């Protein structure tokens, strides 16, 4: 046991030693000679603690991305083409259709909402 660390576990003792070694900037041989233990043991504990920390880190959640492609339109950006608005609500889907909406587009949307194909 290291003096003053009687209540610490072996892992905690080596974690402190590895941390002090890293902070010193010294070679493992120089640092461990002063502490009275083998440099190979110091390096082994450094490797073990690094692996344990990596295993304890939570893995990031998977993020799913969708590719969005913009198609050029014939109208100027300032112009407003008639369209429709779909709003998903608890009981289903609400569709607001603006005057002048393309009937083919409306038919396609209705087919998809009903579970069919366009």
Residue 71 covered by a domain: no
Contacts with 110 (C-beta within 8 Å, 6 or more apart), sequence order: 95
Q: What is the rounded average pLDDT for all residues in the chain?
A: 79
Domain that holds residue 29: 10-56
Total tally of structural domains belonging to the chain: 2
Residue 16 covered by a domain: yes
Q: Long-range contacts made by residues 36-44, C-beta under 8 angstroms, separation at least 24?
A: 42/17, 42/18
Give the chain's largest Cα–Cα span.
Answer: 87
User: Predicted confidence band at 18 (pLDDT cuts at 50, 70, 90)?
Assistant: very high
Tens digits of residue pLDDT in 28-44:
999 999 999 999 999 99
Residue 113, pLDDT above cutoff 60? yes
Residue 94 covered by a domain: yes
Distances (CA, A) of 31 to 25, 46, 52, 97, 115: 9, 13, 23, 76, 71
Residue 67 covered by a domain: no
């Amino acid at each position: 046991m290291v003096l003053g660390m009687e209540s610490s576990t072996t892992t905690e003792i080596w974690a402190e030693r590895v941390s002090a070694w890293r902070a010193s900037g010294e070679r493992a041989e120089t640092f461990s000679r002063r502490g009275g233990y083998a440099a190979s043991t110091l390096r082994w504990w450094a490797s073990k603690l690094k692996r344990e920390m990596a295993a304890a880190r939570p893995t990031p959640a998977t993020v799913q991305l969708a590719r969005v492609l913009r198609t050029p339109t014939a109208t100027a950006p300032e112009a407003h083409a008639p369209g429709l608005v779909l709003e998903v609500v608890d009981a289903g889907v609400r569709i607001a259709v603006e005057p002048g909406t393309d009937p083919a587009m409306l038919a396609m949307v209705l087919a998809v909402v009903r579970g069919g194909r366009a």
